[in-house]
Structures are given as C-alpha cells and as structure tokens.
Structure 1
C-alpha cells in the first residue's frame, strides 16, 4: 500500500482484539491529493480492523482554525469517527504538527516532552484495548412449542369446539372474552406452556445432517489416534472436510432463508447479525428486576401527569372551528375475503398478552376467520372496542442509539398491542384515510404517515423554498419545534371534538373512536416481569396503527396559525418546521416570526401539548457573508440558534453544504461494513449484496435527492463509501479501477443516484401522483406557438441567479434534469418501465466505456 502524498509504515499487534498501528509522514509541501489519499487509507483500514492507531508527522497546522487544509482534515476525521488527541504544540515554533489519532479506543496520559530532535517534540501516551464483553445468561422463559403438527392438531380441536361455541354476538366484548378463553383452553391441550431454562447458545444452522457429519469426524479421529495408520489419517481428513463443507452449506442456507424472507425488514436482519456476532447492547438495567418495571411505569405516568399539570387550562384555543366537513357516520364492515387478505399482509407482530401468536392466526385463519370477523364487524357496527384490545404492554425503547442506558429519561414508551387490535385498527385506518382524502381534509403540508409522502419529499419542499429565497439575496430563518411526549399528552375530549367538527365523524363512527380512546390500560414489561396496570387517561398509543393519524388530526388547526402570520411551515407527525425569508419589504421580520411562535405556544398549551424549549432549534441561512451581521441579534429566538440542526434525520448547516450529515452517513456506513466483513464468509454473493443494500446503500440513498448540486469534493466522500462496499462485495483489490466494478454491479454513482431520485418524483407528477406541495412547483412547458416539442412531456425551467442556491431548488433542478432526458425515457408508459429506462440511461452517462 503506497500513496503519492505521504509515506507510511503499518504493523499489526497480534493480540485479542487486533490493533493496527499506522505511522505516517507527510512532507511539508502542499499536495492536493493528501485528503483523498488519507481518506482511502482510513476507509481501507477501518473496514478490516475494529481498533486503529494513526500517529506521526502530518505537517498540518491544526491549531490554525482558518487553515483550509486543517478544516478539510478535521472534517475527514469526523466522517470516520476518528479522534485526534494532541492539544499542545509539538514543534519548536509552537504549532501542532505531530498527531495521535485513534479509532475505536481511547488514548490516555498523553504527554508532550521538550524537543529532542531538531524541532519536534516526542509524544508519550497510553493505549488500553477494551476487554471482550461477557454475554449475560438469558433468564428462563415460558413458551409453547408450535410446529406444523401442533398447528394441525389445534385446527382440528378448535373446529370441533367452535361448533358448540355460541355466545351472544351482539355483545362484542363478551364474545371476545369467551373466544380468548376457548383458544387458551385448546392451546393448553395441544401445546401446553413449557419452562425453557437458559442453555449455552448453539449455532442455529446446525441440523441432523451436520451433527451426523460431526459424529463421523470424531469417530474417525479417535480411530486414527488409536491405530496411527496413514489410511486412518486420510479417512479422518476426508471426514473433517466433509463436516466443514456440511457446516458451510447449512450456514449459508440458514442465512439465505432469513435474507429471502426478511429482505425488506432491516430490523430482523440487524437482529440476526447481532446474534451471530454475539453483540449485546450494554445495559445496566436488570431485565428481570420487578423494581425496574415499576420504576419505568412510575416515570412514564409521572412525566405525562407533570406536563399536564403545568399547562392545564392556561389559555383558550385561538383557532376558529373548521367549516362543516362531509360526514362519516358509520364504519363499514369487512367481508371474509377482505379480512383474509388483511391478515396475510399484516406483519406477524403482536403483544405478550396475545392468546394466539400472530403466526398461528395466519396459519389457522380458515378455522379462526369467521370468529375474528365476528369480533371486528361487531365492533365496527356497535361502536364498541373490546376491553382486551385496548390493553397495551409498554416496551421502553432508547430514544437515540448510544444513549446512556442507565438514565431512565433516555427511554420512550412504545406500545405493543394485540394482533387482533392491529387488524381492527387497520380496517378503521383505511376507511378514515379514504374519508380524509376524498373530502380533502388532510393538511397539505403534513407528510407524516401518508401514502406518496416521505421525509425526503418534505425536505425537498422546505429546501426548495429556502434556496429560492437565498437566490433572491434574502436570509431565511428556520425553526424546528420539539414537543415533549407529544403522543402521550393528547387530550381525548379535544381529539373527539376534532374528529367531529373538523373531520365530520358522527354517529356510531364517533362512538367507536370514543370507545377506542376511553378506558385504555397499560403496563410496562421488562424481561418476564410486568409492572402493575394503569389506566391511560390521555394520549394515543405509540406503536399503534391509528395513533399517528389521530395525532395528525389533532394538529389540524395549527396550519391556520402559520397561514395567518404568512409563514411557511411543514409537519411530519409531531415534527414541526417553521421558516420564512427575513425581508422587511414584504413584512417578514423577526418580530412577526416571534409573534407567530408565541401564538403557537399558546395554542399548544390550550391543547395540552408542551414545547420542549431545550430541544427546539433555530438556524439562519444567509445568501452571503454580508448578511450575517444584519441578523446577528435574533431577540427572544437567540437561545434556540445553532450552527447545525437536525431536520427529519438530516443535518443542516448554515452553508447548506451537508458536511455534518455526510460525516454521519459515512460513520454509520463503515460501522456496518466492518460488521458485515465478519460474516462475509457465511453468505453467498447474492445474499451479501442484499444485506449490503439493507445496511449500507440504504444509508447512502436516504434523502439523497438533497445532494444534487453539491460540489464534487463533497460527493466524493460518499463515493468512497460506495466504492468500499463494491470492493467488499466483489473482492476487488485496492488499486484496481472501480468504474468497471460499479458498472458490472449496475450501481449508479452517488451523483447519478440523486438525479435518479429527483426524476422519479417528476414522473409521479406526470402520472398525477406524489405530494401536491411538490406538484405545484412543476409546470408543463407551453410554447407560444405549435411546435413538435409540445407533446414531448417537457417542463418549464424557471430562471435562477446563483448556481449554488437557486439551481439547487427542486423547482429549477427537476425540470432541467427532466428536459435533458431522451423522449423514450420521459414518455415511458409505467413507473417500472420508466425506472428501468432511466437507470440504463444514467448508467450509460456514468460509464460510457463499460455499458
């Protein structure tokens, strides 16, 4: 391994865990390739080692904040999660030139000694490698053994018992209770609960075939050791090879089955990867301690009660009632065939309170379907939700990865609901969404949990408006509101009023929602220990199907306040973004922004929602440096001001260069690449590629349409990740050219991937789909006289002034890219055909010599 811009020496400490040490010398002369070369070096090293130590004479003045090379170097370190430890001068003239940089391990007791050699100071430090984390023994659990034979016996027994099962169908609560009792009785007969004690973890891919090969291998080994004959030795070697081949084949088949089944479910893939790598989330919480479950229970209850006590009845709702909307007075029942399709599509997730596990519902649906239909249709027609379907088991979940697991405030309550409850909610959800769409009752700028909408489409619209304002020479202020426990403080009476007066829910349909919200209960479960049960007086359950949609309805009046003050806004569930150009001529000033924020606070308080002042963030984007001092004083908004904010998972900086966000993407991508390297030998190439897409490429593609228009030096850092993933998949050597590899994989480079995403949004516009707030930004090209281009599906391209601002706006960039496409691509008859033609076209542009 050699580079033109610096010299290096590498050696590995063969200890457990392995440590790679890299000694570097960079000549003082500036070399424009240094950052690219060092980036390639780091990407190659951290892909193979969990712990790396870089040190040497870098000849970079990192102590000078205005040094361009130092800025780029620190940005690169941040991208790969590297830590630089030297803070005192290492050169006789007072600069820091000699560095100690580590990856994955801390450096302690670092001391800079007086210069010994001509002008550089020696550096002494201690490095401690972490010890392997012991795997905690799992507690004993109770389970039912359900295999194909047991399910068949259950169906036979249940069919006989259902012939004499005749409770009153008009009382759906009574019917549901008796049906659960019957199912439990039958299960106790065919699959009684068993206590499973903790055992050493066995490889899940071992089968009878592999065990037989292992027995044969050990038998031949004993025979060889006993007689010492050459023929016995050859027999042992042959049986050992056969055993290794059997294990390899069984292991690959095991992972192939998991990947094929869960190719669209990264959560299951990540869980499987963790189980193979013996990875365990560090936790100081004992999952079997009853006190912990009660502590979480008390914390969640007290938190919501405290918020409600502070803001209760402080103001009056300032928003007028919405004009009378179309009415939905009853909920339609579902047929057996519709219910069958719904059960088949529903994810097999349920609750610890489920009498029947979800996979048994799916396998035995022909037997259980009529009774399930009786419960669901009885609930829809009577407007009563059975009490058993309103009991939630709370699973405390960390709010952010890497948060301190010992701090109870770092957890949010996620409700796990019974499988039948989710089916009932799904039926109601579909009818409610249909009513909102047909009646045009959705908030236009609410993107949360709506078909055809996404965080990416929301950010495209927000940044489009910001880019256009900056292009006109106007600064833009963006405020991101954070609500504390937003879902948990929703007032049921106010929500029912919203449903009735803003959405038009009446009659038995309103009775159903009233029954759904009232008399709900919950408990907290840690391990096998349940806390005490508590009534849920407020809130909509997180983890439910209806919860996010009901919360969006709860926020419907909020848009009226923003429009009243003439501010732009966008919502994604409980994430609220307010932005406006700071233009005195148009009446857009900081004071008008403050007035709007104050009215929003008042509305939130009157609706029992609490604004988290500590997590609310504000950023000001300037068209140039001359505007910075003009809006240096933000008045009451100053405490919220930050140089980098996070909006819907994307980090935005004041220059809209996305450096912080790209650094985060690179860190997480290489984290998963390192983990996948440890199981690469267990996967076939096809399945390894699927896993790479799930863990790495998906991160490169998240909101990648926002990268369009970025400078090539910024995009190259993301390209390094994709190149590393391609080399990892194909086994390509470091110095081999990457373009043929990417072309053979049909992987578009980063810059073309962003164009692909934007052009798909445009195609949705021509097909009448996609978010309306993006469709309003596009206009068909209308020539002043009849031309042959009139029927070519072209778009009008607005004029812009600045390449780094206006040209990056969706309303400018999307038409420009669209009009450059060949007519055969633009006029594709369907979305799959369009994607196929578009990818082929972009591949030819990216790799003209290889496609």
Structure 2
C-alpha cells in the first residue's frame, strides 16, 4: 500500500522578511564565490577571505533584522497586540515536519481523539434539575433573522481567511471574488437561517493534529491536539448565528455571569460558614474580574503568581530577540510585555505582604538586567534609578500618595528640604516610611 506524507506544524525561531532577500542574496553570492575559490586553491588567504565574507553575511542579516523590528516597534509602540503578534510570529514560525503516515496511523489518531472526548464527557457532572421539566422563561428565542447583503459583506470582510482543504476555492481567493458570488452566498445563508437546518457539507470538518508545544515527541499521540478545519462559508454562517444569539442574550440579561466571593474578618471564608441560599452554587474561592484574580482572604497570591509566571515567560522570549533590537526598542517591548503587567491594577497591591511583592520585584529586576546587561551579582537599585523605574512597592503606592519626583529621590537616598507638591508636612513623609502605612482609598 502506498503511504502518504502528512505535514504537521511545529514552532521554530526563523525570521522571514522579503525585504531582506535582495541584500542577503548579494552577500551570499560573494560567500559562495569565496568558498569555491578556497576549495579550488586551498590557500590560507582564500580561507581568510571566506571567513570575512561569512562574517559580513551574518552582520548583514542581523542588521536587516534589526531594521525590520525597529520599523514595526516604532510604528506600533502603543499597540501591544501588534507587538505581541509580531514577536510571536518571529519566535514561532511554523515549520513543516513531514512524517510518513499510513491509514493505520490516521485510524490511531481517530480512535485516540474519540476516546479523549468520551473521557471528558464522562467527567461532566449531571445537572441537579431535570432537563425534561419545562421551566417558565422570561424570554424565548424563536427564530433567526434573515441577514442583509451589507451585513453579510461586513462579516466576510472581517473574517479570517482560513478554511478547509475541501473548500472549492482557497479562502483568500473566495474573499476576492465574493462581490461576484455574494447573492448566491446570501441565499444559502438565509435559507439555512429560515429553515433552522445547517447543510450537511457545512458540518464536515478536516481534523489536523498539531503538536501542543515545540520539542515534544511527534510519535506520541497524546502530544497532539485536534484542530477542526470547517469550510469558510460554514464559518460565515457560524459568526452570523453567534452574533444574533449574543445580541438576544445581552438584551435579556441571560448571558450575565454570577460569581460569589465571601470576605471574612480574619482569613478566608468557606461557603459553609455563611448562608448563601440560592447563591451557594455561585460560590468561588477565587474570581477573575477584568483579568485580575481576587481571592477571599485578599492575599492576592493567585494574582501575583499568575503575573510572575507570565512575565518570566515573556522575558525568556524577549531575551532571544535582544541581539536584533536596539536598547530603545528593547525597552519599548519590555514596557509592553512586562511593565504593563506589573502596573496593571497595582494600587490593589497596597498592604500586600512584602514576601509576595518581592516576587514582583524579582520580575522587574530581571527585566532591568535584560535591558542593561547588568550582571546578576551587581546591585540593581542604581540601575532602576537610572531607568526611572519605580520599585514595585512604590509604584503601587504612587497612584494614591507618592509623586514620581519624590519617589525617585527616595530611591536615590534623599530628597529636597522643601516639601514637594502633595505633601503638607514632614509627617506625610514619615507615614510613608512606616511599614504599616496604608494610604486612603
């Protein structure tokens, strides 16, 4: 039986820039010319010329990469989403690793994914109420609305051009020719919405296994996750249905999420210590609101743990790009990826134990060392002062009490004799030195 080749995507650090090719091609041709000359005469001078050409080639590529990143960072310094997507693309450019597979291996993948779904469903607990018993509802969604041509054009314009290998035409080409076929697509979409039936072809997905993380053993099925690729028109229908359902849930207040957090006078509170009644099912020991994790004992250890983990992860990634970035652009990226995480809702850190704040301080110290190249055994306080970075504990207090100028003077070990704006007397300064000081909210 003839085998087929199945391609899987794994990440690798490769920079692909079409603007780099003309310059790189010229220098690379010089390297090949010098290499052929050295192989022909085997002279030491030819070998030295080859080394010089190779170093010039490496420097050319590095400079082109530096210029490429500088343009992106400069134009998107206030857009962290673009910076994250760019750096993620650079560090995780997919490589095609071709594996010799057979129908038996495909069946193994199929059985493995089916067993995984069955296991997950078995872990889902059954609801307490009987689903067959009808419950009176304040609002009922009875019918989808037909979409207009302008609404359909807007959905197609913003949809990501990805689809299934079984699509009649590539997704990008579909978007380009959509003006000539838009009426036919509109008829298909509205026919499905009015009848409440999804065409059978829209339900057929091509499942592609992808490695969960780079470097995992590609022969172990558990290291893959299934990615379902639906037809592009099916995704258009899915977005229209989602939009109408979401509008209905928002208008009737059905989509609201309820979580109950109980605060006690001393230490965390369990749900059994208070009578919550119908709210018992919504009790949580930790809730997340606007990306901030809040616990019942208000120690904020879960939030700080998440910030530290995420920050060090991004620091390790940024360290791989340091050789391609100038100091100015590296500082911009560090502010976007690290400082923004340390500063987010940092006024809530006032009163948190020093042991937890010290973990956040380690993140800031590591970011400063990465930016300035400071060694691990060197003092970090002068480095933070030179960068005008407030330590974490002072940054947390600054929104409530401390002006920036005074905080920087405190880092450097002193301040002017005259009080700085915001402080009425020396007692205000002595309050800040008090470890039990908590500014008013």
TM-score (norm 1): 0.37
In the alignment, which residue of structure 2 is the partner of 1:567? 280
Q: Distance in 2 between matches of 1:220 and 1:398?
A: 41
Aligned to 2:325: 683
Distance, in Å, in 2 between the alignment partners of 1:439 and 1:667 is 39
The match for 1:204 among 16, 19, 22 is 16
d(CA) in 1 for partners of 2:32 and 2:123?
A: 71
Partner of residue 477, structure 1: 270
SS at match of 1:381: helix
Residue 689 to residue 340, structure 1, CA distance change in 2 (3 Å): farther
- 1:126-525 alignment runs, 5 A limit: 204-205=16-17, 207-219=21-33, 243-253=57-67, 255=69, 264=81, 266=84, 269-270=87-88, 272-275=90-93, 288=101, 290-302=103-115, 304-305=117-118, 317=130, 321-395=134-208, 415-445=228-258, 465-466=261-262, 468-469=263-264, 471=265, 473=266, 476-477=269-270
C-alpha contact (below 8 Å) 1:286/1:292 kept by paired residues? no
Runs of 5+ in structure 1 lacking a partner? 1-138, 143-200, 446-457, 480-561, 570-577, 580-618, 620-644, 757-816, 822-840
1:344 and 1:400 map into 2 onto residues whose CA distance is 32
Displacement of 1:739 in angstroms is 3.6
Distance in 2 (alpha carbons) for counterparts of 1:387 and 1:438: 32
Could you say what the CA RMSD is over the residues aligned between the two structures, in angstroms?
5.5
| SS in structure 1 of the partner of residue 137 of structure 2 | coil
Whole-Å separation in 1 of the counterparts to 2:305 and 2:163: 37
SS of the equivalent of 1:476 reads coil
Alpha-carbon distance in 2 for matches of 1:305, 1:228: 68
After superposition, where does 1:713-752 map in structure 2 within 5 Å? 713-731=355-373, 734-735=378-379, 737-743=382-388, 750-751=392-393
| Pair 1:313–1:849, CA change in 2 (3 A) | closer
Per-residue CA distance 1:660-700 (angstroms, 9 max, x = gap): 76456545543543343233112345654565467545665
Give the number of aligned pairs. 392
Distance 1:308 1:222 in 2: 64
Contact 1:394 1:416 in 2 (8 A): yes
Larger Rg: 1
Larger helix share, 1 or 2: 2
Post-superposition offset of 1:310 = 10
> Hey, what does 2:354 align to over in structure 1?
712
Identify if the C-alpha distance between structure 1 residues 668 and 345 changes in structure 2 by more than 3 Å, giving closer, same or farther.
same
Q: Deviations over 1:214-235 (max 9, x none)?
A: 21354467779979999x9999
Partner SS state of residue 676, structure 1: helix
What is the CA–CA distance in structure 1 between the aligned matches of 2:174 and 2:395, rounded to whole Å? 41
CA gap 1:700/1:213 in 2 versus in 1, 3 angstroms: same
Q: 1:707 to 1:565 in 2, by over 3 A?
A: same
Q: Measure, in 1, the Cα distance between the counterparts of 2:343 and 2:103.
A: 43
Q: 1:753 to 1:296 in 2, by over 3 A?
A: farther
- Structure 2 residues without counterparts, runs of 5 or longer: 412-419, 421-441
Per-residue CA deviation, residues 465-495 of structure 1 (Å, 9 max, x unaligned), is 43x32x2x5851269xxxxxxxxxxxxxxxx
> Which SS does the other structure have where 2:205 is aligned?
strand
Give per-residue Cα distances to partners, 1:266-311, cap 9 Å, x unaligned. Answer: 57743531459x9x99xxx978354444234224434555777899
